[in-house]
Amino acid sequence: MLPPPVAPDPDRVPTERELREDLAAAYRLIALYGMTDLIYTHLSARIPGEGHRFLVNPYGMLFEEITASALVVVDAEGEPVQETAWPVNPAGFVIHSALHLGRADAHCVMHTHTMAGMTVAAQKGGLLPLNQMSTEFHGRIAWHDYEGVADSDNMSERERLVQDMGDRPCMILRHHGLLTVGRTVAEAFYYMYYLEQACRIQVSCQSTGAELDIPPTQVVERARAQFSTGPTKGWLPWQALRRKLDREQPDYRA
């Protein structure tokens, strides 16, 4: 029988090794649940301690190939600060670095290019509260206008990203994709998984051609308030997901 889950101490600072395993697990899970874009996009985590150091994927690896030891330590500009045989993609890290530096609680940042996410990102109406999963995001999604491919030639976009994000946990990048931040990898993954599900629900509902039935605002707001927002957000499903990977893809820890 499995041991009962244990809630983490929100004040405990994880070690770099623990962060590596959590982030590698997140890469594998993003691949497992169909949220990848070949070798593109990033999931990143801030390494505790002085200075600005972050873990990010080697450029060229599929998410399903990522392991804890393969993750690369980079600085705020996305440049490696460790020896690595793999390149990194500093241009793609611009979005991540902006939020890591601009939000003290953004210990983990996740960005995806999914079909459902990009579809909703192209809609003027935004994410609609069509389902219980969707209501959690009511008033908790930031929007950022498209400025072209985010790269080091447009560093001023960092300031606009941080300003647009505010204190929200999720952002939809218009004509681009989805982004979430979290105090932990577990929290950022929770928001990304369910934001993606909300987008898939919306696209699926719209594809039927039937008139959409949106609940009254007071009902949506009540439902949103019923979702927790504490410092250990997402920890319970995260422990279950880590157990799943330990059974099926244990090499992620390598």
The tens digit of pLDDT for each residue in 223-254 reads 999 998 888 999 999 999 999 999 999 999 99
**Cα 28 to Cα 32, 56, 172, 181, 236, distances in angstroms:** 6, 13, 22, 18, 18
Residue 84 within a domain: yes
CATH code of the domain covering residue 128: 3.40.225.10
Q: Which pLDDT score is estimated for 153?
A: 60
Residue 11 within a domain: no
Q: Which pLDDT score is estimated for 88?
A: 86
Residue 4 within a domain: no
- The string of pLDDT tens digits covering residues 11-43 is 899 999 999 999 999 999 999 999 999 999 999
The count of domains in the chain is 1
Q: Which pLDDT score is estimated for 148?
A: 75
Residue 22 within a domain: yes
Rounded CA gap, 163 and 149, in Å?
Answer: 19
Strands 177-182 and 170-173: antiparallel
Residue 79 within a domain: yes
Rounded CA gap, 53 and 89, in Å?
Answer: 15
Residues 171, 143 contacting (CB under 8 angstroms): yes
> Among 42, 144, 127, 32, which residue's Cα sits nearest to residue 92?
42
Residue 202 within a domain: yes
Q: Which pLDDT score is estimated for 182?
A: 97
**138: pLDDT strictly greater than 90:** yes
Rounded CA gap, 227 and 229, in Å?
Answer: 7
**The model's pTM:** 0.95
**Cα 51 to Cα 57, 100, 204, distances in angstroms:** 20, 12, 44
Domain residues for the domain of 143 are 16-249
Rounded CA gap, 57 and 70, in Å?
Answer: 7
Residue 1 within a domain: no
Residue 2 within a domain: no
